[in-house]
Structure 1
Amino acid sequence: MPLYDCMLLLKPAVKKESLIELVSRVGKHVYRRNGVITDLKSLGTVQLGYGIKKLDGRYYQGQLMQMTMMTPPSFNSELHYLNKEDRLLRWLLVKHRDIKFGGEFFNEDDGRSDLKMMRSSIYDVGSEEEDDDDDDDVEEYDAAFQQQNNDV
């Protein structure tokens, strides 16, 4: 089963009990489909870049929740009952890819070894070739200098 993030943007005036009830209803739906919720985060109140118009007004703020879950791929089509939920402004289901961004990339041992390999292959290999060329030039110069001294 793939890993998904379900982002829920709720109206700012929604009470905590109502928010927990909505999240638990989605969680029960996940468990009925033999899924697992791996993480639940409340990101608090966020300012929106544009107003979201609903029947009861336009909203410029919202409460953002993130649920990380492992569910079957058909789960996206089963979440469309959230469209009728009056407490929600928006919802989005995002599938996780095995892509590492920023600090997450550097925190793992694999990332460090890849960077060391890149650094060594870029700088060390090129500098070895240049060092070899420099040594040849110095030896040629020394030989020419000694020959001039012998001639004089």
Structure 2
Amino acid sequence: MPLYDCMLLFKPVIRKEGLIDLVARIGKHVYSRNGVLTEVKSFGKVELGYGIKKLDGRHYQGQLMQITMMATPNMNKELHYLNKEDKLLRWLLVKHRDVKIGPSEMEDRQDEFNRVTSRSIYDESSTDDEDDILGLSR
């Protein structure tokens, strides 16, 4: 299953309970489709570059949240019910590209990290090829 980020921009007057309620409903929807929420972040109130006009007026601030999830590819179509949600100013679903998740990939990343950190940046035994790549030819 691909990894997605769902960005939610709430109206600034919405209480915390309302935010949690909508995020919980999205989580239940994803879970019912055999998906998983991996992370929920709140960025608090943010100033907007321009006002977003809704039926109750123009909003220059919003409460921004990010939900990271593993879900089915048709999740974008299934989340269109958020368009009718009056608590939201905007929402956006972004798919992560080339994300590999699994135990073997984690081991590969750890090996790569160990290889990079085992060398010192002040190590004089670097080859000329590495210097040429970095543009540090002597």
- Common fold by TM > 0.5: yes
The 1:94/1:124 distance shift into structure 2, 3 A limit, reads closer
Structure-2-length-normalised TM-score: 0.75
Mapped pair 1:9 → 2:14: no
Pairs aligned (count): 117
1:110 maps to a residue whose letter is E
Higher helix share: 1
Q: Percent identity?
A: 67
| C-alpha distance after superposition, 1:15-63 (max 9, x if no partner) | 0111111100100100110000000111111111111110111111000
For 1:68 and 1:77, locate their aligned partners in 2 and report how far apart those are by CA, in whole Å. 17
Offset at residue 123 of structure 1 (A):
2.4
The 1:52/1:124 distance shift into structure 2, 3 A limit, reads closer
For 2:69 and 2:20, locate their aligned partners in 1 and report how far apart those are by CA, in whole Å. 16
| C-alpha distance after superposition, 1:116-135 (max 9, x if no partner) | 8xx7414279xxxx9xxxxx
The alignment's C-alpha RMSD in Å is 2.7
Mapped pair 1:123 → 2:131: yes
2:96 maps to a residue whose letter is H
Unaligned stretches of 5+ in structure 1?
Answer: 100-107, 131-152
Please point out which of 110, 113, 128 is paired with 2:112: 110
The equivalent residue for 1:93 is 93
SS in 2 for 1:79: helix
Unaligned stretches of 5+ in structure 2?
Answer: 100-109, 120-125
The 1:124/1:66 distance shift into structure 2, 3 A limit, reads closer
Structure-1-length-normalised TM-score: 0.68
The equivalent residue for 2:104 is none
The 1:19/1:110 distance shift into structure 2, 3 A limit, reads same
Offset at residue 110 of structure 1 (A):
3.3
Which runs of structure 1 show a deviation greater than 6 angstroms over 4 or more consecutive aligned residues?
none
